[in-house]
Structure 1
Amino acid sequence: MTSHPPLTVRTATGLTTIVCLSGALGPDTCLDLARELRQPLDQAGRDGQPLVLDMAGVRSVSIAACQALRVATDHLAHAPVLVVGAAPSVRAVLERGKLPGVRIHDTLGDALAALPDTVSDTTAQRAARLSHEADDLRDEVFGLRARARTRTLIGVAQGILLARYGLPGPDAAFALLREGSQRHNVPLRVLASAVVTAPPPHSDTQWFTGRSTRALLPAGGFLQSYDIDAHDRRQVLAAALHEATVVISDAKAAELHLTDPAQDDALVLEQHKGLDAAYRDQAALVTGPPYVCARAQHLREPVNVPDVAADPDLLLHPAGRALLDADSRALACVPLVTPDGHCTGTLTLHWTAPGSWLTDEQRYALDFLATETAAWRSWYRRTVVLNALEYLHQHRVARTSPRER
């Protein structure tokens, strides 16, 4: 509890005070809980505002912690503390505690709607808006971190283009990269990685000689079941996740990582379904274990984690804590392996309850989907990405200075 305090306090000025609790509230946290609640409880009483305990991040609560909460709130039966977001197991303990100064609701909106008329609909709407704005701000911070991770790679690619083609400056190099990215619908980061790892152009007119630009897609596969363009990376990966979570399994969430050759085949989170922003930030770039996807990549075989909370390596790592905070208790991961044995990425499924959730038939189907996705990735890199590189090579003249032409 020393390195990970049980709660944080966030104040929405003029509306309400929201106290966010997280972690496991056990007997050893009772004193901390009582001490940290005292100030916001007093402040809410002085301001005549409702106090909200957001317990969405609480994994478990002990009877002793429940008793500490009772002592802190008993005097508030006339203006109870509003508990929101509690998981079913946590809610059950609180309800058994029969806390007169606490009212339990599913969401903040439900809690405010149940208050007397002194809290107007406008106040509830403003509170909801503040909550959304806080989420947006958090997502923006995570987005800035994601861009920072790719800035160096794009900078290296710009430097290569500058030196190779005598471009007038970094802006011209970036403009050329952006044009190639947009023309061939290849993410800028992916194109930059290709520039960094590809061999030098074979000639002045062609980057690659003797290469077919129209290699056929692998026959069959899940792509035939979806009305999408195989050149569209985002659509293909979204279809793979849909196939894994809806058609094959009943997983509550999924993530799909692809390797980046320019970063020693580190796993980059390319697509997800149902993952919260905090976990996505944690798993955005994976360079090794104990991440489950890194284990599957290293072993070149599926990895199953029936209970994250019982996995010692994960539990002691930020990745494991992020999984538990996201309510992911069980994982199944398959590597995307090509016929020559090269792992090009991983596909990971999440469940909210511990256990081994895949049947033998589902495992077979998931392995087959992983093989198909790996085959598509190989085709995409040999055709779409190389076509984008060819575009850079053949259109660099428009970006060079007159002196260099």
Structure 2
Amino acid sequence: MTSSSTVSVLSTTDQVIVVCLSGELDGDSCGRLAQELKPHLDQAVQRGRRLVLDLSGVERLSSAACRTLQQVTGHLAQEPVPVVAATPAVRRALDEAQLAGIRTYDTLADALARLPASDTTPDEGLRGEVFGLRSKARTSGLIGTAQGMLMARYDLRTPAAAFALLREGSQHLNVPLRVLSSAVVTAPPPTTAAVWFPGRGTHPAPPMTAFLHASDGDVTDRRQVLAAVLAEALALSDAEAAEVHLTDPAQDDALFLEKHHGLSVAYWDHIALVTEPPVVCARAQLRREPVTVPDIAEDLELGAHPAGQALLSAGSHAVHSQPMITADGHCNGTLTLHWTEPGSWLTSEQQKALSVLADEVAAWRSWYRRTVLLDALEYLHQHHESLSQQHQSHSRHG
């Protein structure tokens, strides 16, 4: 495929294989497209699994690529391959091609729900596993980019050595691998061989915010902090569900779902990575002010969007999203609340309290990036040689 296209193969239990494609599928990519898909289709048949083709990450699907799909799947007209085509352009291209061997769906949830009963009746656990794997696939490109940068910077021989370095830094500083990879990609290159960031001096103390003081946890532990945020938001608002997104600088400040409570997997699959409205958190990020949707069904844009439809299907009818604004006016995340009944549920006092909480989280996140993340990058820089040698030794004896 083209350099901007990627293929990820996800296998869940003994029932479903999900093949995710992303980027642009044009004439130049047709040869590899056929080479990639045919073995997976054959494997699915041999192992008694169903294959689902996920094109929700595909930006453009050419007529040549459609003909390749026809060649690979044409013999499956009696049992078509479910294909997820989230964008209107890709859906239109597939509809115009009239491929007998595929059946298109708007969402992965729809495709899983319509698998033949003889194969499986996908339950919430199966969907959660599939969606969780697909979420990992969305970040595999970012991790791969970080691996490539580390290989070039430190003259590492293999991607496995670079991944081992990332994993060691992630575990040593308790920083999620995706977050550390994003920092590698966006940070300026090291200025000296000895240290990445000379002259940092004493680390600033974490912000003395009320929610951090109340949680009494480890302020360097990202998961602990965000769990405390959700607990505080739910307690002060009486909402039934909540979600926290933080921006990813390596993906043009797209909103990445970091933590949630009470959300269905079909919904959080749609908001795992949010880049634009009408999703409510993206509206709040864009406007840099709170956004309330008192009735999702009455909101023409959100109600027609797959994320809005997933919310309604899960029984959520009202949402409120609060942007996290730093001292310099930058939005570095959002906090979103859900209610099962329509209405504007927050009182003026609750809105004030939620605004304070969001500002406190923004301050903590800024501190985290200036301290914990820079420490993790420094660890990579100062230990890359010894960690690379350890990896090579393990590989020889493995």
SS of aligned partner of 2:168: helix
Counterpart check, 1:178 vs 2:167: yes
Cα distance change of structure 1 residues 150 and 327 upon mapping to structure 2, 3 Å threshold: same
Once the two structures are superposed, residues 128-157 of structure 1 have per-residue CA deviations (whole angstroms, 9 ceiling, x without a partner) of: xx9998322211110111111010000000
Q: For the Cα contact (< 8 Å) 1:161–1:173, is it kept in 2? A: yes
**Code of the aligned partner of 1:306:** P
Deviation track 1:81-137 (CA, whole Å, cap 9, x = no partner) reads xxxxxxxxxxxxxxxxxxxxxxxxxxxxxxxxxxxxxxxxxxxxxxxxx99983222
The residue type paired with residue 236 of structure 1 is V
1:395 partner SS: helix
Q: 1:306 aligns with which of 274, 294, 307?
A: 294
Query: Which segment drifts farther, 373-382 or 204-213?
Result: 204-213
* Residues 318 and 338, structure 2, Cα contact 8 Å, conserved in 1: yes
* Distance in structure 2 (CA, Å) of the matches to 1:397 and 1:213: 26
Once residues 201 and 142 of structure 2 are traced to their aligned partners in structure 1, the CA distance between those partners, rounded to angstroms, is: 28
Structure ID, larger Rg: 1
Which of 230, 238, 260 does residue 248 from structure 2 map onto? 260
The yes-or-no answer on 1:371 pairing with 2:363 is no
How many residues are aligned here? 272
Distance in 1 separating the partners of 2:333 and 2:175: 17
Q: CA deviation at 1:210?
A: 1.1
The SS at the match of 1:258 is: strand
Tell me by how many angstroms 1:215 deviates.
Answer: 1.3
Task: State the SS of the aligned residue for 1:142.
Answer: helix
Post-superposition offset of 1:400: 4.5
Instruction: Extract unaligned runs of 5+ from structure 2.
Output: 1-118, 391-398
Q: How does 1:214-229 map to 2 (within 5 A)?
A: 214-229=203-218
C-alpha separation in 1, matches of 2:252 and 2:307: 21
Q: How does 1:185-196 map to 2 (within 5 A)?
A: 185-196=174-185
Is 1:398 matched with 2:383? no
Deviations 1:170-208 (A, max 9, x none): 000000000000000000000000000000001101100
- Identical-pair percentage: 64
Structure 2 residue identity aligned to 1:360: S
Q: One-letter code of the match for 1:155?
A: G
2:189 and 2:344 map into 1 onto residues whose CA distance is 48
Q: Identify if the C-alpha distance between structure 1 residues 170 and 242 changes in structure 2 by more than 3 Å, giving closer, same or farther.
A: same
Q: Superposed, which structure 2 residues align to 1:4-403 within 5 Å?
A: 134-212=123-201, 214-246=203-235, 248-400=236-388
Query: Does 384-393 or 203-212 show the bigger shift?
Result: 203-212
Q: Kindly indicate whether the alpha-carbon contact (under 8 Å) linking 1:165 and 1:400 is maintained by their aligned counterparts in 2.
A: no
Supply the distance in 2 between the matched residues of 1:290 and 1:133 (Cα, whole angstroms). Answer: 29
Report the CA distance shift for 1:138/1:197 in structure 2 as closer, same or farther (over 3 A). same
Change (3 A) 1:273 1:389: same
- Structure 1 counterpart of 2:3: none
Provide the rounded CA distance (Å) in 1 between the counterparts of 2:339 and 2:231. Answer: 15
Matches of 2:320 and 2:275, distance apart in 1: 19
| Partner Cα distance (1:177, 1:276) in 2 | 31
How far residue 213 of structure 1 moved from its aligned partner, in angstroms, is 5.3
Segments of 5+ residues of structure 1 without an aligned counterpart are 1-129
Report the TM-score, using the length of structure 2 for normalisation: 0.67
Do 2:243 and 2:260's aligned partners in 1 also have CA atoms closer than 8 Å?
Answer: yes
Partner of 2:209, secondary structure, is: coil
8 A Cα contact 2:165 2:388, kept in partner: no
TM-score, normalised to structure 1, is 0.65
- Give the distance between the partners of 1:386 and 1:132, measured in 2 at CA: 46
The 1-side partners of 2:209 and 2:237 are apart by 21
Does the CA contact (< 8 Å) of 2:296 and 2:308 recur in 1? yes
Partner Cα distance (2:129, 2:261) in 1 = 19
Query: Counterpart of 1:355 in 2: which secondary structure?
Result: coil
Return the alpha-carbon distance in structure 1 between the equivalents of residues 343 and 335 of structure 2. 18
SS at 1:290 equivalent = coil
Secondary structure of 1:268's match? Answer: strand
Deviations 1:276-333 (A, max 9, x none): 1110101100000000000000011100111000000111111110110111100111
Contact 2:291 2:320 in 1 (8 A): yes
Q: How far, CA to CA, are the matches of 1:401 and 1:162 in structure 2?
A: 14
* C-alpha RMSD of matched pairs (Å): 1.7
